[in-house]
Amino acid sequence: MFGISILISLALCFVALTKHRIWVLCGFYCIYGVLKVIALGDVVEWSSLALFQGLYVILLAATIARWCQDETFLIQIKSWPKLYFAAIGIMFVSALYSISGNLFTAGDANGLAPKLTITALFLLAASQLQRSQDFKIFITATVFVALALSVWVIGSAFSLDFEAMRGGIDVNQNFVSVFVLVGAIPLIYMLFKVRGWIFLGTIALLLVIALGSFMLASRGMLGAFIMALIFMAPSISKGKSKKAVLMLSLALVAVFAVALILPGGSSILGRFQEGDLGTLNGRTLVWNRAIDYFGEGSIMRQLFGYGLSSGQVILPSHLTDDLWNFHNQYLSWLVEEGFIGLIIFCGFLFSVGRSVLKSEHPLKPVMLGWLAFLGVAGMSSTIADIHAFWILLGVIMGACSLEKTNSESSESTRTVPCPAT
């Protein structure tokens, strides 16, 4: 395994110096979304995942290489949201006055360095999109990851005779669901755009992913996925007759209905019959505790929050260790960075969304679906704590800014005819 990781690293190092550097980001996403997840479940023994760690360096090298090679890169950067840098800034400043200690201690997962590293993936991901087809290539990677994880979850459930709840895996099922459902969104788009054998193949892939997601039974992520479909609906049905839209919608419903009746598919129904449904698995207890604590603070605390990772101090005092998480990304920014931080974070998301709405990219529906999914998922989880959040937003922003840059370059190179004399 070590030898294979070295070969992969060398190959990606070479690709990082070319216009095909999007494959470096695809490799990062696949390794993080598949190999690291499976390794965390002790299915594969790959201690420290050296390849995954080394890919950070390769991504940075690819970004620097593009900076040196592509003269349009700086023009593309100018259209990236300035509020992103404000978010980075307030995270750093809040670490200085945080009520939580050890934020500058090496090895602390809740420290400043790991959080800034994850957030930096927005810049690194956006920098890898240099060609018009790069966004489509990355989409393929998300579908691959979703399919691989779905097969893994189904295989795990099968080995346990489909009797274990949520596939019987040892990894956080909500975390895995993010990757599975992110990959399902492009397939929904394809379902409305392709025909023939490709259409049947898309149906088959969706069935596998739907079954995997039902086994994982993440209510919050499935709710976010439904909202993503609602946001995508107007754009993917544009130009189609009402009859065609109805037939395709029925085909989609049929896929999820079949997945629901297959062995293990009913796990999602069991989740809605749990005894703690009234507190959403304790989430309402966390939210009440966080809001009460925040409301008791001074005006300065309400404006600027209690500092980065302060939830590690606020929540343990009244809740059990399985609830030491805000389970809401917006509440997390409110408590830790105050109203100022929350406004900056929401403004950043709004800026990315505005770029998508202004875009005329052919895969705009997928961007809308991903944005809606991430935005709604943040209402029941601290989704910005995972790499996929910043990578997806970076890829979206990279595709939109690349389109804008190419459009401006085309207009500037047009030959203007001289007036007749």
**DSSP-derived secondary structure for 2-44:** HHHHHHHHHHHHHHTTSTTTHHHHHHHHHIIIIIHHHHHTTSS
Which pLDDT score is estimated for 48? 47
pLDDT tier at 2, thresholds 50, 70, 90 = low
Mean pLDDT of the chain: 88
Q: What is the pLDDT of residues 71-96, one digit of tens each?
A: 889 889 999 999 999 999 999 999 99
| DSSP H or E segment with residue 146 | helix 134-159
pLDDT at 167: 84
Most confident of 136-145, 194-203, 401-410: 136-145
| pLDDT tens digit sequence for 304-324 | 999 999 998 998 877 877 778
CB contact set of 231 (below 8 Å; sequence gap of 6+): 368, 369, 371, 372
SS3 of residue 242 by DSSP: helix
Per-residue b/e over 261-294, b at no fewer than 16 CB within 10 Å? ebebbbbbeebeeeeeeeeebebebbbebbeebb
The C-alpha atoms of residue 21 and residue 399 are separated, in whole angstroms, by: 14
- The DSSP call for residue 108 is -
What's the rounded Cα separation, in Å, for the pair 328 and 382? 5
Residue-level pLDDT at 278: 64
- Over residues 34-56, mean pLDDT: 65
pLDDT at 406: 78
Burial 376-401 (b: 16+ CB within 10 A, else e): bbbbbbbbbbbbbbbbbbbbbbbbbb
- Choose among 64, 46, 63, 43: nearest CA to 8: 46
Residue 137 CB partners (closer than 8 Å, separation 6+): 22, 23, 26
- Average pLDDT (139-154) is 96
Q: What percent of the chain has pLDDT over 70?
A: 91
Q: What is the mean pLDDT of residues 174-187?
A: 96
| pTM greater than 0.75 (yes/no) | yes
CA angle at 284 for the pair 388 and 279, rounded to the nearest 5°:
105
Q: Which residues contact 401 (CB under 8 A, 6 or more apart)?
A: 76, 77, 79, 80, 126, 355
- Please, which pLDDT band fits residue 367 given cuts at 50, 70 and 90? very high
Q: Among 270-284, 390-404, 407-421, which stretch is predicted with the lowest mean pLDDT?
A: 407-421
